[in-house]
Chain A
Amino acid sequence: MTPMPILELDGLVKRFPIKSRLFGPKQWLTAVNGVSLEIRAGETLGLVGESGCGKSTVGKAIMKLHDPSDGRILIKGKDIAPLTRAGMKPVWRKVQTIFQDPFASLNPRMTAGAIVGEPLTIHGLAKGAEKVRIVSDTFRKVGLRPDQMDRFAHEFSGGQRQRLSIARALVVGPDLIIADEPVSALDVSIQASVINLLIRLQKEMGLAMLFISHDMSVVEHVSHRVAVMYLGRLVESGPRDQIFRNPQHPYTRALLSAVPVADPSRRGRERIVLKGDVPSPIDPPSGCPFRTRCPIAEDVCASAMPGVTALSHGHGFACHVRAREVVA
């Protein structure tokens, strides 16, 4: 009997209206098109894909920064999709976000201590000396010194600012962390230390984490399970080792072949280079959304959307051609 997932997405859809010509037909941009996934306590799910594939929209929909157009968002079994702002408040305490840009996500007019302590005030969890104690503890936890609480955000380096973001997310004791490209704005030399901090804290506190990234090597390092997104849909998901050692979907294979490997003996390995650009999510291709760039596409791909082929260990993918090969 596995415990109830902390987060479960069931057919999540997010459409944005596009301003069109007067009296013209209303157009929609479908950023997320029927994404289903789940994350359990103590587990990190890496959500990967190219920019514009809708992975950040998934994160924002879970936080209700965008209202989902369809589907359910279950937090510990409770659907939060229809909740209003007032109803979201207790949810916002249990689900915390780490934003991508550590320079924009901290209020430039507030001190570091005030930023990290704010969620405590908002949720009425602590004040006065108690609040100071919790904030200093959290500072230490993320590798900052409590005497830095007096400083403004711009007086910190990029890595330290992202540590502040992490501290702000952890201070209220959340169950789920949504990390939206948390290290992509940082220098490579700083990335490793911030990632290791996230991994350590996640283990210590038994958090569920949705780790959104376009960087396959970072995702491999952080995640227990990986979900690959293309044009608003999941094309493959499964345990990390399955995805990285035994990828099934042609898109996953192409992504993995693009990851640089620090091993000259493997210099001759096969590189799958995708042709063309990602199609517009306003007018996606018929059938399988990947068929326009797929090296193995067949006629059937243009007519029907592929269903999910399930392998062992919860590994699954959506591809007509590969499904036939696996079964055969």
Chain B
Amino acid sequence: MQERLKSAVNLATAASDVAPSRSALGRRTLALFSAVTANRGARVGLLLVLTLVIAAVFAPWIAPYGPSQMGAGMSLTPPSADHWFGTDEFGRDMFSRVVHGARLTIQVGLIAVGISLTVGTLTGLVAGYAGGWTERILMRLVDVVFSFTETLIALAAVAVLGPSLTNAMVAVGIAAIPFYARVAYSVTLVERNRAYFDAAYVAGAGHFRLVFIHLLPNILPPLIVVATLGVSSAVLAAAGLSFLGLGAQPPSPEWGAMLSAARDYFTQAPWIMIYPGLAIMVTVLAFNLLGDGIREALDPRQKARQ
């Protein structure tokens, strides 16, 4: 009885060993985290990103007023103890609007990058793995899209889909696909020439196993870097579309739309333009710092230099 129990325990511990167990993956994640936070710029970036996320999640509790609540104060009052960022022409509290805007910004970043990362990675991965005609057709298609500037593609997409923040996110996401596809494709070409890929191939592994178990995890590190840096350009592009009136529509506290609305009054009340603008700038800076930090942590050559 004692013996059987023992062997059962042994088997159970052994079972957790064969699959990439939580402890093993945990060790890796922890090592990456400490490598990222060892970089001062990345620490600042991470802190700012966390602040942004907290502002987005707890916006209703942090903001003293509703984002569209008119007459929260007198119109166009300068920053004061009551209204930290002042008020706009409708007397809306600018601080509350900027904090709520963080929600939209996080959404834009996640959804736009999510679209381009997923579609781009799959395209590049499949093209690099399959080779032949699949590769030629997919990559030439990517090249064609790549040859237009992202803003132009986003503009065209919004023109077709109609102006709204959701459509702007999708448009920005689509516009960035070729970039992710190119990165994924080139890394796939490198990885599929490594001996471990040959080893899996001659073990008889099928397409699915080769692509998703062997190639995908190994091409992810550079894509994570690109995606982190991509958040800032997505945020910027979406804000740009909103500024042009093709993204978020007026009452929405989207930072780009707020900048656009502020144009009429910014000579009298510069704060209605400064604060949303600062918010965009800080967000972009935060993701760039974090992305650079992750890149350095993942790049063995950089590590050796330190």
Contacts and interface: CB of A to CB of B under 8 A. Distances in A.
A135 B15 CA distance: 10
A114 B204 contact: no
Contact of A149 (B11, B18, B218): B18
A145 to B, nearest CB: 11
Interface in B182-220: 194-196, 198-206, 209, 213-214, 217-218
B81 interface: no
B30 interface: no
Contact of B218 (A107, A123, A133): A107
A93 B18 CA distance: 20
B302 interface: no
Interface residues of A, number: 43
Given A122-B209, A132-B11, A92 B203 contact: yes
Interface in B1-57: 11, 14-21, 23-24, 28
A238 interface: no
Contacts of A96: 202
Interface in B54-110: none
B15 A132 contact: yes
The 10 closest A-B pairs by CB, nearest first: A105-B195, A109-B217, A113-B18, A149-B17, A92-B204, A104-B195, A107-B196, A150-B17, A89-B204, A132-B14
Tell me what chain B mostly uses at the interface: helix, strand, loop, or mixed: helix
A111 B202 contact: no
Contacts of B218: 107-109
Interface string A137-161: 0000000001101111000000000
Given A97-B199, A109-B217, A119 B204 contact: yes
Contact of B204 (A122, A132, A135, A149): A122
A114 B200 contact: no
A106 B24 contact: no
A67 to B, nearest CB: 13
Name which of B14, B20, B213 has the most chain A CB atoms within 10 A of its CB: B14
Contacts of B14: 132-133, 136, 146, 149
A133 B195 CA distance: 27
Interface in B228-270: none
A152 to B, nearest CB: 7
Contacts of B199: 97, 99, 105-107, 165, 168
